[in-house]
Amino acid sequence: MQITKKTENKCFAGSQAVYQHNSIVTRCEMAFSVYIPQIAWTHKRPAIIYLSGLTCTHENVTTKAGFQRYAQELGLIIVCPDTSPRGTNFPEEHDSYDFGSGAGFYLNATQKPWSANYRMYDYISKELPDIISHNFPVVTPHFGLMGHSMGGHGALTIGLRNPDIFPSVSAFSPIVAPSQCPWGQKAFTGYLGDDHNEWQRYDATELMKNGCKSPSKILIDQGTSDEFLEEQLKPDLFLKACREKGQDIELRMQEGYDHSYYFISSFIGDHLLFHEDNLAAQ
């Protein structure tokens, strides 16, 4: 698999780069960013994949979260992919912020025309780990997986379904029950149709109720002043399911924080330390 470096900048003594490649899974050109700490040039290091939210590309978290200082200190490789296929230009693909481009919802679509390219579940769980393993100095086969909002939904669902690949999972302000909120219902109807058995495969709360587990504690940070908390995010639904199933989880309600990258940048250091600890224990 050929990847092409588009940019590279020195950052906290390490390297912050952006790559492009032709994805076999999404059948289009995909971009992702990679931070390599200085130590990784001589020693293989753990990698963490960060999944972004609605409207994002790889660029939002790379330029706004301030993770590079912590990644350099902890010796972690950070990979940040895009949130959907690009360049397909289906009818209405770019018309709304919560469906189509920038809103792939980390699932494999079953409905036309989306099913041809919108296969972000396979892209994140199979193709991207393979690319990282073959092109960067990473300790394999385990990866940390984290995300924000729609990306938090992606981290929880992909992590719960693939614990051997992603034994360490965390999220900021995740959509934990997409079948029960407007963002998720719109996306699942469009990408998956009316088959609610299919919906359950991409719903973290339903996966937990149905027996999926993460081998490590799950860490979630949620701002109490998040404008999407009540209508879209509903972390208590996932907390309840985890408690009923004996899944170790820490939900930290962070007083006064909203949904923005100001919130993420305030706690990203905690999340990287959490993943470093979990991956070291593997």
Ligand X SMILES: N[C@@H](CCC(=O)N[C@@H](CSC=O)C(=O)NCC(=O)O)C(=O)O
Beta-carbon neighbour count of residue 193 at 10 Å? 14
Smallest gap, in angstroms, from Cβ of residue 65 to ligand X? 9
Smallest gap, in angstroms, from Cβ of residue 22 to ligand X? 26
Shorter beta-carbon distance to ligand X: residue 136 or 263: 263
Smallest gap, in angstroms, from Cβ of residue 147 to ligand X? 9
Using alpha carbons only, give the angle 32, 163, 61 rounded to the nearest 5 degrees: 25
Contact 220, 251 (CB under 8 A): yes
Smallest gap, in angstroms, from Cβ of residue 185 to ligand X? 15
Shorter beta-carbon distance to ligand X: residue 54 or 74: 54
Catalytic residue among 58, 259, 271, 275: 259
Catalytic residue among 82, 203, 221, 226: 226
Shorter beta-carbon distance to ligand X: residue 41 or 97: 97
SS3 9: strand
For residue 126, what are the contacts with CB-CB under 8 A and spacing of at least 6? Answer: 25
As beta bridge partners, residue 14 has: 11
Shorter beta-carbon distance to ligand X: residue 73 or 258: 258
Q: Is 21 a catalytic residue?
A: no
CA distance 239 to 171: 13
What amino acid is encoded at 81 in this protein? P
Smallest gap, in angstroms, from Cβ of residue 33 to ligand X? 14
The residue behind tokens 């960067």 is: 136
Smallest gap, in angstroms, from Cβ of residue 224 to ligand X? 17
Q: Long-range contacts: 226-230, Cβ < 8 Å, 24+?
A: 226/173, 226/257, 226/258, 226/259, 226/263, 227/258, 227/259, 228/149, 228/173, 228/259, 229/173
Q: Is 258 a catalytic residue?
A: no
Shorter beta-carbon distance to ligand X: residue 123 or 136: 123
The residue behind tokens 């981290």 is: 155
Residues found near ligand X in the complex (CB under 6 A): 53-56, 60, 64, 97, 148-150, 259-261
Q: Is 226 a catalytic residue?
A: yes
Tell me whether residue 10 is exposed, middle or buried, using C-beta atoms within 10 angstroms of its C-beta: 0 to 12, 13 to 18, 19 or more.
exposed
State the Cα torsion 42-48-52-56 to the nearest 10°.
10
Shorter beta-carbon distance to ligand X: residue 79 or 138: 79
Catalytic residue among 101, 125, 149, 168: 149
For residue 151, what are the contacts with CB-CB under 8 A and spacing of at least 6? Answer: 50, 51, 52, 53, 56, 83, 106, 171, 174
Catalytic residues: 149, 226, 259
